[in-house]
A = this chain, B = another copy of it.
Amino acid sequence: MAKKPAKADFLALAKSRRTTYEFSEMPVREADIRKILEAGRWAPSVHNSQPWSFVVIKDKRTIGALLDNCYYGDFHTCPPLVVAVVANPPDHSLLKGKSGEFSMYPYLSISLPALNMAYEASSLGISSCIMLPFIGEANKLLKVKLGYEAVLAVGFGYERKGAFRKKRKRKSLAELIYKEYYGQRGRL
C-alpha cells in the first residue's frame, strides 16, 4: 500500500518562498543541507532522466566569484551556502522515435531540483535565492565538464535583519487562464 499523500499546506509554502538578497553569516546546519539536497534529488524530470549534478559550495571566495557572475541583485551579501545545479547534455535516446523537440529537455528538468531545494529550505525556515549564472563563467569557475552547464545556482542561509526585499508580484489568474482552448477566456 502506498503512503498517503502528505497533507502539507503547499500553497502557503509556495507563497512564502521568496528571493533573499542579504544573508547573515549564520551557516546552514549539515542535517538541513542534507534535507535540502534530498528534496532536490526527488524532483521529477523528463522521462525521469535526472539530468543533473549538485555542486555544494561553502568556500567564500568561490561563492563570491560565482555571485559576481550571476543574474542577481546588484546589491547583495553572499549566502554561506550555494548549490550549483549542473545540467547534463541532452540525451538523444529520450527522443523515442519522435523527431523534433528534445534539446530543451535538460532545461525543462533542471529548474525542478532547484525549486525543490528552495521549498525544502523554506519549510525548514531557511532563506534562499535561485540565481542564473552566466554559464560560461560559472562553468570555468566550477571546473564543469565540457558539454555540461552550470545553469542554476541556489543560495541558502538566513536573511539578515533589515535586508532589502523586493515586493513579490504575479499576474492575476484572469490574465493567465484560458478555457478549453488557447485564447478563450471564461469565468473560472
The interface bits of chain A over 89-127 (1 if a CB of B lies within 8 angstroms of the residue's CB, else 0) are: 000000010101100100111111001101110110100
Q: Return A159 CB to nearest CB of chain B, in Å.
A: 9
* Interface bin, chain A: 35 or more
Q: Return A111 CB to nearest CB of chain B, in Å.
A: 5
A50 within 8 A of B: yes
Give the dominant DSSP class at A's interface. Answer: mixed
Determine whether the beta carbon of B123 is less than 8 Å from that of A10: yes
A52 / chain B contacts, CB cutoff of 8 Å: 176
The interface bits of chain A over 1-36 (1 if a CB of B lies within 8 angstroms of the residue's CB, else 0) are: 011111111111111111100000000001001110
A178 / chain B contacts, CB cutoff of 8 Å: 53-56
> Contacts A112-B115, A122-B5 known; A17 to B44 CB distance under 8 Å?
yes
- State in angstroms the CA–CA spacing of A176 and B79 once bound together: 22
